[in-house]
Structure 1
């Protein structure tokens, strides 16, 4: 079997997904959907087809320049250059497909890999192989609704043969946007977890004895960390009385300023772990009683899954498919992303009820063993490709 992946080459999600199939004796290729180098985990594991020119890097640099171009004069030339680079990317991918003749092309993510692959498919027409598309994060849940992206997302979904996603929620959305092909197994886009290895990062003892609260610090087009910060402010007395540390990883400068204002008003102390080795993030989850993650749109949040594995009680926005993994009020709280009062109520309950967080940790661990363990997800991923291959091969 020969598979060509089109994906972000440096993404840990790309690496973890593809690594599940590199030991099958298949011929695995990767064409990059951006300018970054190949992830170290994939070095020597895949045939990486790096363009001779950093086309996507040049194109995006010109697009940024065009956005800030001060006058109309000269902007037309920039647009023509961008268009030529786009055509070159499409031609490169099309030429590669014709050269290696893969049994299938799999786009991991829609807005970059999906759009690029769709353009190559239009160029090659009937000569294009079977096409799989995997939805990442907000590809259909949010961007499928936005005017700037809707028609492109619909075109990808209309023309692909197979669709995969990590949320059951997204299947109906994709079909509503025009997908009429075959749906593949719903699996985490980043693959499974080595649960035995992750156990080393869990602090010994009961989760209820832990004295750390983590607030995911993303505050941007999707992240709503400010709402979580307001909820923490509303629970300041309970947090101080319990002697809890509040960690805010991934906080941008605006978020830090807001947290400093809250600290001055309440006496709470916030810590901002630097973005370092992945093991450091796992150690934080393994020492936390509660993890709060809020966004207006996401797929299965990686930090949400990590909190489940490592015992932290999850308070997660319902926009990230949390309800497909936890039972609201029993193994976590599913909350709206924009209501600090509901988030604060959930936080108070998780701070006050030791039995709740301890029982949730045990039940979430069981869920992870059943649905997230690496051997289980890997076997399903392998079976996914075997199914597509068997369904699409022409008789000799």
Structure 2
């Protein structure tokens, strides 16, 4: 089957696409942003990337003049259509609705013999359904899709409520399964773990600052590591005398840990915390489960509850703005050794179902199903 991927270059896109290597399909990629180079790790994929700009020299200066933009940049839909005509795909697979579905909608409506598959990630539907600008795109696109993946069951159900009439292919991690051999060390038992690992994002949909404020309320804490830390957390830390007395390390996004280092840290941490106003199935939480850290995770729309059974293999934060709730969940986990040990054992069983080879087999079965339906 000839598969045309439509996406920006992202780590989740690269990981997902890697599942198709040596699977018997011809794979192509149309970079929806059209301004980047080829992806070396996907050198087996035919890549259409630097298509957008007509002019290279002086383009940044010229882009500041609005009426000249059409002379500098090629139209997305037209460029995509030209590529479709050139390669004649059997299916187009778009990642993220507003970015990779809306711009090509009119082309897909024109070539109805080409099946259309959509992957919903993170906030794609759950958060943006309430934004009039994005909701318009959701309403226009969903009825024209033939197939859909999501990273949680919540969004498969939500898509149907919002107008999706195609076939759901299941919920899988947005970047596919996880490589357990990445860290080149055995999974450490509870007795060899220490400390709290926190995702420090803060912004429109992320609430890492509330975790820091919850830790401030606690008289005693083990060592704490924040990664992908927003600078607002560091400013708050610097203004708090009680936090300065705690053993806290911050890694910002700019000076952050690489993926392997982060997974090693998960393998040595006792507890992992992620706190968001909105999300799909949190990929970092799934990785924390795979590497044995006890997960405490926000639960917007019930997505995290699809894998975390409260008190059995983790704890759920139901209100990401409630600092007292977060502090209570932390205290509960730090004072209940039996719960931590039992959760570790349960998560090691869940881990097998998140393995790269296990997820890849299921995902490829779904692509094969599409091919069978098209034949």
TM score, norm. by length of structure 2: 0.91
Structure 1 partner of 2:155: 170
After superposition, the C-alpha distances for 1:23-73 in whole angstroms (9 at most, x for unaligned) are 11211100102233333321x220011233448x99xx89x96xxxxxxxx
> How far does residue 349 in structure 1 lie from its aligned partner after superposition?
0.9
Q: SS at the partner of 1:131?
A: strand
After superposition, the C-alpha distances for 1:139-158 in whole angstroms (9 at most, x for unaligned) are 00001221121111221212
Structure 1 partner of 2:20: 21
Structure 1 partner of 2:121: 136
Structure 1 partner of 2:336: 353
Distance in 1 (alpha carbons) for counterparts of 2:337 and 2:178: 27
Structure 2 partner of 1:374: 356
Relative to structure 1, is the Cα distance of residues 163 and 358 closer, same or farther in structure 2, using a 3 angstrom cutoff?
A: same
Report matched runs for 1:257-268 at 5 Å.
Answer: 257-264=235-242, 267-268=245-246
Tell me which of 83, 92, 97 is aligned to 1:105.
Answer: 92
On the 8 A contact 1:158/1:178 being kept in 2, the answer is: yes
Structure 1 partner of 2:36: 36
Relative to structure 1, is the Cα distance of residues 351 and 279 closer, same or farther in structure 2, using a 3 angstrom cutoff?
A: same
Distance in 2 (alpha carbons) for counterparts of 1:3 and 1:263: 56
> How far does residue 253 in structure 1 lie from its aligned partner after superposition?
1.5
Relative to structure 1, is the Cα distance of residues 353 and 314 closer, same or farther in structure 2, using a 3 angstrom cutoff?
A: same
> How far does residue 119 in structure 1 lie from its aligned partner after superposition?
3.9
> How far does residue 279 in structure 1 lie from its aligned partner after superposition?
1.0
Tell me which of 267, 274, 283 is aligned to 1:302.
Answer: 283
Report whether the alignment pairs 1:114 with 2:101.
yes
Q: SS at the partner of 1:4?
A: strand
Structure 1 partner of 2:367: 385
Report matched runs for 1:144-163 at 5 Å.
Answer: 144-163=129-148
Q: SS at the partner of 1:238?
A: coil
Structure 1 partner of 2:197: 214
Report whether the alignment pairs 1:280 with 2:261.
yes
Q: How many residues align?
A: 367
Relative to structure 1, is the Cα distance of residues 249 and 202 closer, same or farther in structure 2, using a 3 angstrom cutoff?
A: farther
Report whether the alignment pairs 1:182 with 2:167.
yes
Relative to structure 1, is the Cα distance of residues 131 and 46 closer, same or farther in structure 2, using a 3 angstrom cutoff?
A: same
Distance in 2 (alpha carbons) for counterparts of 1:322 and 1:33: 30
After superposition, the C-alpha distances for 1:183-235 in whole angstroms (9 at most, x for unaligned) are 1121111101123x14635563x325422211110001111011111111112
Structure 2 partner of 1:3: 3
Q: SS at the partner of 1:211?
A: coil
Relative to structure 1, is the Cα distance of residues 85 and 314 closer, same or farther in structure 2, using a 3 angstrom cutoff?
A: farther
On the 8 A contact 2:51/2:79 being kept in 1, the answer is: no
> Unpaired runs of 5+ in structure 2?
none
> Unpaired runs of 5+ in structure 1?
66-76
Distance in 1 (alpha carbons) for counterparts of 2:87 and 2:243: 63
Structure 2 partner of 1:234: 217
Structure 2 partner of 1:256: 234
After superposition, the C-alpha distances for 1:114-146 in whole angstroms (9 at most, x for unaligned) are 222324324xx1455110011011000001221
TM-align CA RMSD:
2.5
Distance in 2 (alpha carbons) for counterparts of 1:238 and 1:333: 20
TM score, norm. by length of structure 1: 0.86
Is the helix fraction higher in 1 or 2?
Answer: 1
Distance in 1 (alpha carbons) for counterparts of 2:249 and 2:232: 15
Distance in 2 (alpha carbons) for counterparts of 1:256 and 1:14: 31
